[in-house]
Structure 1
Amino acid sequence: MSADVQKLLSDISEALITDELAALKFLSLDHVPMRKLEAIQRAQDFFEVLQEKGMIEAGNLSFVKELLYRIGRIDLLVAQLGSSREEMERELQIPGRAKVSAYRQLLYEIAEDLTQEDVKRVKFLLQKHIPRKKLQDNASMLKVSLEMERNGIIKEDDLAMLKDILKGFRDDVNKKIYTYEEKKKEKLHYPVSVSVHPGQGAERETPHVVESYKMKNNPHGYCVILNNYIFKNLHETREGTVKDGEAVKRVFKWLQFETVEHMDLEAKQMYAKVKEYSKKDHSNMDCFVCFIFSHGDKDKIKGIDHEFVNIKDLVSCFTGSNCPSLAGKPKLFFIQACQGSGVHPAVTVKEDFSGHLETDATPLTSIPDQADILIGMATVEGFESYRCEETGSVYIQCLCDKMELLCPLRKDLITILTEVNNEVGRRVLNGWKQMPKITSTLRKELIFQIPQCPSIEKQKNKNTLS
């Protein structure tokens, strides 16, 4: 990022007060995980996180403009960014241009509309649902909204309790919720075909709705992590991979999976461990997840003994015939590894990582032609993937961040992985690029169920947004 842009963001930061920073953080929750936002106390740090997430790029400050417009800082929009209220209103009418979701906008507008007395009344009516220490006198309506989300009281597609709370004393605010819900219903309507029969009027055919996999058991299934860290050749030690294991365990325990990590396996042990899980009875489970972190070569994963196991052989353990108790259920494999030694050239933008990056070496050819299998690869065939020695691999850390961010919004797995592709693909890593890949024979949407309590943020003992 150029010095001029950094100076511009610094000037904007100086002009923002504490409540406005809290509003910016709240409006950015669709793009930055809660755990990253909670620790931020300065506007300058907030803008740095947006740069890391690719929301601020060289020559593109559209998200900053939108945020300032949303919180009513038109003076900064005009003086610092050369825009205007009218220009932003036109811009945000263009489909896909707005980055702040309609849901997040609605909650912010409600918080702005409610008086202090209104907020006190809302807190009183929530006492049976939210711990009192979270409803202190100084807690703003934005904080209250966050607690309602954390406790599953409100969701993007379920605002019934909020309407019930506001009913009777702020019916004008409730009208905004009803308007939001009506617009959401309109967007959910699929285009329908019209067939005209002789002697009859036009008939609308029933729109096709994508079916979802059932996710009703607890635990939903096994999440198995095969994590090769220390190899017999110590020069191949994969620093940072422990961070990947910790991130996956945190997220999938939160998602109610029985999560197990196996460290430093030889090639035969890797295959034996995967086969062991394929022989288990998964009748009372909904899904199977396997993460593999290692070095490798084309089509293969390397064990710590420098022998190889074919990725196709690992995945084949879970075909319908080899694992009948998972037939018709989703089997997910996520592989942090290179698929060759090639590197993607990059355009000139600020690098996202200052720490030392290493590469892993392993590819994937094709998966068995079987249903209900998904493989998420760190990179496309023929190219390297990157791992930071201090923070973990680019792909796995981004995947875990997006799961934390989007699962509570009931986004399906393909949508989440597409977001991962987008974010990793836009980063610049030691001057090179990385492009993850999704290979899927899933037949339905896969939406992970979020437990009502505790939330992942509570597990990490974090404070609420300031």
Structure 2
Amino acid sequence: MDFPRRRLLVVSEELGEGDLTALKFLSRGHIPMRKLEAIQKAQDFFEALQEKGMIEEENLFFLKELLYRIRRIDVLESHLGTSRQEMERELQIPGRAKVSPYRYLLFQLSEDITEYELKSFKFLLGQELPKCRLIPQATMLDVFTEMEKKGILGEDNLGVLKSLCAEIGISLLKTIEEYELKFGEEEMVVTEAQRGSPAGTEAHAGYLASSVAPDSPDRRNESSQVQAYKMTSRPRGVCLILNNHSFKKARERAPELKGMKDRTGTDVDAGALKRVFSKLHFTIAEYRDLTAEEIRKTVNMYRCEDHKDKDCFVCCILSHGKKGMIFGVDGQEVPIRELTASFTGQNCYSLAGKPKVFFVQACQGDSCQEGVNIETDSKEPDDSVEPDARFQLECIPTEADFLLGMATLQDYVSYRSPYHGTWYIQALCHHLEHSCPQGEDILTILTAVNQEVSKKTCQPNSRKQMPQPAFTLRKRLIFPVN
């Protein structure tokens, strides 16, 4: 028997069932899951690594890294002649590590979790995973594996996991946030040497380093760049438009709602939104004149839809409202928070980790914003605009990956022309149409929208309007035209 195989045999005899499970889990990405699931012995696992070129006669580094990751330092030192300190130095070398940072994150969580927290995970996932996979003997690694199979967990899909950890244990959530801070926002560059490395030995992107010197200006600029959300699917996702025009039902239902006028001009906004988001490769779904209950049912329908193959979700709400609420055409209220929260990672797993964008055309109060005497390049008076009803900003979930674009500041009205549509939606569509082909991100575009709307004036009292975005985006949101 040759020397490496004798050494592998000795190592295999030192490993227990739990060790083998951890080694297999950390090796995903190098060995197909189906093949790993069939492996029951450490010797077979080592054979599979050899077949993939991950273990070679003169190179046992991947095996050493695996043993280091699962904290079998005793085996590492006694049978492979490598100390903990040596491995720590090796893993500081850019491109040296082969274990995926994402997979190591999951392994760390499985090591840190308590028995009570594991039971809580299984309980909360009871409706999502097969009962036979949540038996008492199932480990946290087993749970992670089933979540990945179900499509509710992945390297770019940590939303559900974060939601669960937030409910179960703050220390677990902190581990994920530290991982995201270290790897999620970095723009990694493969060096020339790494580009030329043989197949099967590439380092994971999280460990790749730039060929630029660490202290150079270029390196600093590179590391400060914020990564962009993936936006390559066709279609990109659904653009849901809730367009309420006629409020006759509301006026007939209650005397106090007699002043709730029809929203003349809203179809101009809806048409502009459909035109622009079609160009941005979204599937358009417009619903007109919905009651409060119909709004809930419609939103729930899209919450339950499978967005697995889509990169984004957009919802545009055009209706009357009041503080924190939106009105159905029957005058009944629906909390805006209820609509946005329907698409959190916990409530809509297939959108976890993906951007959820809401644009709301409505006032946030009764006050009128007064203009100040400054010089402007242009003034566009419009003596036929109307205020929409009230709305409040505290409607965005605290979870990541949300953007809420509001037509105006809190406590103030926004304006709608019966002939030209609303100031906000028309400016939004104009800047999306012109800036997306140039690669501008959505926050830059919304800043330009603020600038345009702020220049408009409602005569005869020189009333003004200022839109306001709120967001928990983690990455740049860019809508490519091509």
Is residue 387 of structure 2 the alignment partner of residue 362 of structure 1? no
Provide the C-alpha distance between the structure 2 equivalents of 1:427 and 1:359, rounded to a whole number of angstroms: 14
Check conservation: 2:366, 2:390, Cα contact below 8 A: no
Q: How far, CA to CA, are the matches of 2:430 and 2:385 in structure 1?
A: 19
Q: Which residue of the partner structure matches residue 401 of structure 1?
A: 430
Give the letter aligned to residue 472 of structure 2.
T
Match of 1:270 among 282, 295, 298: 295
- Measured in 2, the distance between the counterparts of 1:249 and 1:298 equals 27
Q: Is the 2:393–2:406 contact (alpha carbons within 8 Å) kept by the matching residues of 1?
A: no
Distance 1:399 1:423 in 2: 9
Q: How many residues align?
A: 254
| Amino acid in the other structure paired with 2:468 | K
User: Which gives a bigger RCO, structure 1 or 2 (Cα 8 Å, sep 6+)?
Assistant: 1
> For 1:434, which of 448, 454, 465 is the aligned residue?
465
Normalised TM-score (structure 1): 0.52
Distance 1:347 1:261, change over 3 A: same
**Identity, % of aligned positions:** 45
2:308 alignment counterpart: 283
- 2:446 equivalent in structure 1: 417
Deviation at residue 354 of structure 1 after TM alignment: 3.0
**Match of residue 352 from structure 1:** 380
Aligned to 1:127: none
Matched residue of 2:223: which SS?
A: coil
Partner of 1:444: 475
Offset at 1:194? Answer: 4.5
> Counterpart amino acid of 1:448?
F
Q: Does 1:207 align with 2:207?
A: no
Asked if 1 retains the 8 angstrom alpha-carbon contact of 2:392 and 2:411, the reply is: no
Alignment of 1:15-414 (within 5 A): 194=215, 205=220, 207-232=223-248, 233=251, 236-348=261-373, 351-366=379-394, 367-414=396-443
Q: Matches of 1:204 and 1:225 in 2, distance apart?
A: 43
Q: For residues 378 and 446 of structure 1, what CA distance do their matches in structure 2 show? A: 19
Counterpart in the other structure of 1:184: none
For 2:288, give the aligned amino acid: M
Query: How far apart are residue 368 of structure 1 and its match?
Result: 1.6
Q: 1:204 to 1:265 in 2, by over 3 A?
A: closer
Deviations 1:345-369 (A, max 9, x none): 1135774133510110131232221
> How far apart, CA to CA, are the structure 1 residues paired with 2:219 and 2:302?
47
Q: Secondary structure at the match of 1:207?
A: helix
Task: Judge conservation of contact 2:401–2:473 (CA < 8 Å) in 1.
Answer: yes
Paired amino acid for 2:402: I
Post-superposition offset of 1:204: 5.8
Partner in structure 2 of residue 167 of structure 1: none
Q: In structure 2, how many angstroms separate the alpha carbons of the residues matched to 1:256 and 1:194?
A: 41
**Could you give the per-residue CA deviations for residues 401-428 of structure 1, whole angstroms, max 9, x where no partner exists?**
0011101111000100111011111221
Q: Which amino acid aligns with 1:221?
A: G
State the secondary structure of the residue aligned to 2:469.
Answer: strand
CA distance in 2, matches of 1:257, 1:204: 36
Asked if structure 1 preserves the Cα contact closer than 8 Å seen for 2:379 and 2:455, the reply is no
Conservation of the 8 A alpha-carbon contact between 2:404 and 2:470: yes
In 2: Cα distance, 1:428 partner to 1:355 partner: 9
Q: For residues 203 and 357 of structure 1, do their structure 2 counterparts lie closer, same or farther at Cα, with a shift above 3 Å needed?
A: closer
Cα RMSD (Å)? 2.0
How many Å separate the matches in 2 of 1:270 and 1:264? 9
Q: Does the aligned pair in 1 maintain the 2:382–2:457 contact within 8 Å?
A: no
Q: Distance in 2 between matches of 1:203 and 1:412?
A: 22
Equivalent-residue separation in structure 1 for 2:469 and 2:326 (angstroms): 18
Find the aligned partners of 1:399 and 1:411 in 2 and give their Cα distance: 13
Q: Under a length normalisation based on structure 2, what TM-score does the superposition of the two structures give?
A: 0.51
Separation in 2 of the partners of 1:223 and 1:353? Answer: 32
CA distance in 1, matches of 2:478, 2:341: 24
Counterpart residue type for residue 314 of structure 1: L
The residue aligned with 2:203 is: none
CA distance in 2, matches of 1:258, 1:436: 26
User: Distance between the aligned counterparts of 1:230 and 1:415, measured in 2?
Assistant: 34
**Is the radius of gyration larger for structure 1 or structure 2?**
2
Secondary structure at 1:223 match in 2: strand
Q: Sort the Cα spacing of 1:288 and 1:333 in 2 relative to 1 into closer, same or farther, 3 A.
A: same
C-alpha contact (below 8 Å) 2:229/2:476 kept by paired residues: yes
Q: What is the rounded CA distance, in whole Å, between the counterparts of 2:285 and 2:383 in structure 1?
A: 29
Letter of the 2:319 counterpart:
S
Partner of 2:290, secondary structure, is coil
Q: Tell me if structure 1 keeps the 8 A contact 2:364–2:408.
A: yes
State the distance in 1 between where 2:234 and 2:379 align.
41
CA contact (8 A) 1:355 1:389 kept: no
Equivalent in the alignment of 1:105 = none
**Separation in 2, partners of 1:415, 1:203:** 23
Q: Which amino acid aligns with 1:230?
A: S
Amino acid at match of 1:223: C
Taking a change above 3 Å as real, the CA distance of residues 351 and 275 of structure 1, as seen in their structure-2 partners, is same
Q: 1:210 to 1:304 in 2, by over 3 A?
A: same
Q: 1:204 to 1:446 in 2, by over 3 A?
A: closer
Give the letter for the 2:244 counterpart: N
Q: Tell me, what secondary structure is at the counterpart of 1:238?
A: coil
Matched residues in 1 for 2:364 and 2:219: separation?
48
